[in-house]
Amino acid sequence: MRYRTLFFFTGKAIKERLQRIFLMVFAVSLSVGLLISMIILSKGMRERLSEELKAYGANALITSPDYINEEIVQRLSGINAIDEVLPELYGRACFKGVYINVIGMRLEDMKRMRVTGEVQKGSVLAGSRLAKAGELKTGHEIGLSIPCGSEEMKFKLSGIFEKVGSEDNALIMELKELQKLLGLENKVSIIMLRVNPAVFELTMENLKKEFPELEIKPVRQIALSEESLLKKIEFLLFVVAVVVVVASVITVGGIMAATIFERLTDIALMKTMGATNRQIQAFFIVEAIITGLLGSLGGHLLGTASAELIALSAFQRAVAVPLFSIPLAISSGLMLSVASAIAPIMRITAYRPSIILRGEI
């Protein structure tokens, strides 16, 4: 009841100078938005990066002039420092009179890909570009032959996958099936590894000793990009955030001070009515709280929107907005606006009403 009255009077005061309030809200939004987008991005980037690396790639590559025997996959899987082993077989097969790329993967690896549709045993997945070009839909039957014109093997298209790069043009099918199709039993073309970054160098050396017949190459750019890029971006965001926070504190504090000076007579008058300093301060605090709440709301929207935009352009995919960003936005917005308003608010108490009402200030 009493709070309702407090909000009522404050609301009246706010209506009187919407422009200034808007400016304060905007300043708070900007800082909160930056903070939120920074947090969402750095959390999202970490997750996404490690997911991307796990999904696609890998920080080491094993190739050979010839095909690689599949039993090597088993041996590699036994090594502790290797988190993932992804064997792939590349081949070309004729589809509707045209040769296309076909990639063979293990079923469990296929299941980890980003697929619209399903990953089923014995079915194939099409890259999005290929699917567009060939007007393929899930459920279609795909006949593959080697060479063109010979007897076709039929597969069901169960999903479309998205992947950056040339693989977008390819079909993906189960490794075993492709081996059968190509007549390359127990062979793979390439093995991708994800080696634990902590012991990367050591493991690479060991692998070279253990498999002299194979070519083992680190995939440098991915391995390096994991940490250093993230750190640089985070630092940059941090610097910008500090600048914006300082700027918004100055803005909000300045506007509050101006408002309070403008309303000095009103404040003196309230004192003659028997208002305590606390009661008067409450008006301005409520104003700051409303500003902070609106600002954090706007800031959260702004922050998530910008984070998503950046994420979309960087990863071609949205990042998850963590639940705790909401209380974080609210509390930081409130803290920002209340903290910057507190100094001018406290100054009100310094004035005696008699001095103001006599017109000496």
Partner 1 sequence: MIKVRGLKKVYPSAVALRGVDMDIQDNEWLSIMGPSGSGKSTLLNILGGLDYPTEGSVSYDGKEITTMKEDELAVFRRENIGFIFQQSYLIPYLTALENVMLAQYFHSIVDEKEAAEALKRVGLSHRLHHRPSELSGGEQQRVCIARALINSPKVLLADEPTGNLDRENTRVILELLGELHSNEGFTIVLVTHDPYVAGWGKRLLTMEDGRIIKDESFHS
Partner 2 sequence: MSLFIPEAFIGSIKGTIAISASWLVINSYLSSKNKETGPVHLFILILWFMLLFIAGTFIEFDAFYKDQIRRVSAYMFGLLLITAIFSSGWSLKREFRLFYIFLIMLLYGPDVMSLSFFLKDLSAMRQNFTGAYIAGITGFLSGLSLLFFEKKIRSGLSPYLSLTGLFFSLSAIKLLLGGTGGYAELSLIPAVQRGLMKFFHDLVHQLFVFFMVPDHPLLKTTVWNFIGLIFGEAFTMIATLCILVIPPLVIVLRLLKRPEEVPEGLKGAERRKYIHEFMLLNRKRAFPIFLFALMVSFFWFFKAESGPGLYIPQPVPVVEEEGFVIIKLKEPGRELGDGNIHKFILRKDEKTYRFFIFKRPDGKFSVCLDACEICPPEGYGQARQHLICIYCNTPIPFNTVGEPGGCNPIPVGYIMTEKEIKIEVEEILKKWRLVHSGVSRE
Residues contributing to the site for partner 2 (CB under 8 A) = 1-2, 80-81, 196, 198-199, 202-203, 206, 322-324, 327
- Kindly tell me which residue out of 66, 278, 323, 350 binds partner 1, with binding defined by CB under 8 A: 278
Question: Is residue 100 within 8 Å of 92, Cβ to Cβ?
Answer: yes
Q: Is 346 in the site for partner 1 (CB under 8 A)?
A: no
Q: Which contacts qualify for 275-279: CB closer than 8 Å, 24 or more apart? A: 277/348, 277/349
The three-point CA angle 182-173-175 to 5° equals 60
**Residue placing its CB nearer to partner 1 in the complex, 45 or 282:** 282
Pairing of strands 123-127, 190-195: unpaired
Among the listed ranges 3-11, 71-79, 207-215, 247-255, the one in contact with partner 1 (CB under 8 A) is 3-11
Q: Is 230 in the site for partner 1 (CB under 8 A)?
A: no
- CB-wise, 10 or 337, nearer to partner 1? 10
Q: Which does 134 bind (CB under 5 to 8 A by kind): partner 2, partner 1, none?
A: none
Could you tell me how far CA 250 lies from the centroid of its own chain? 31
The nearer residue to partner 1, 166 or 354, going by C-beta atoms, is 354
Number of residues lying near partner 1 (CB under 8 A): 28
Backbone phi and psi for residue 211, each to the nearest 5 degrees, phi listed first: -120, 75
Antiparallel, parallel or unpaired: β 82-95 and 98-105:
antiparallel
Nearest distance in Å: CB 40, partner 2: 14
For 271, 274, 275, the CA distances from 353, given in Å and listed in that order, are 6, 11, 11
Distance separating alpha carbons of residues 142 and 145, to the nearest angstrom: 10
Q: Which of 12, 147, 198, 212 binds partner 1 (CB under 8 A)?
A: 12
Write out the residues near partner 1 by the rule CB under 8 A: 1-2, 5-6, 9, 12-13, 15-16, 265-266, 269-279, 349, 352-354, 357-358
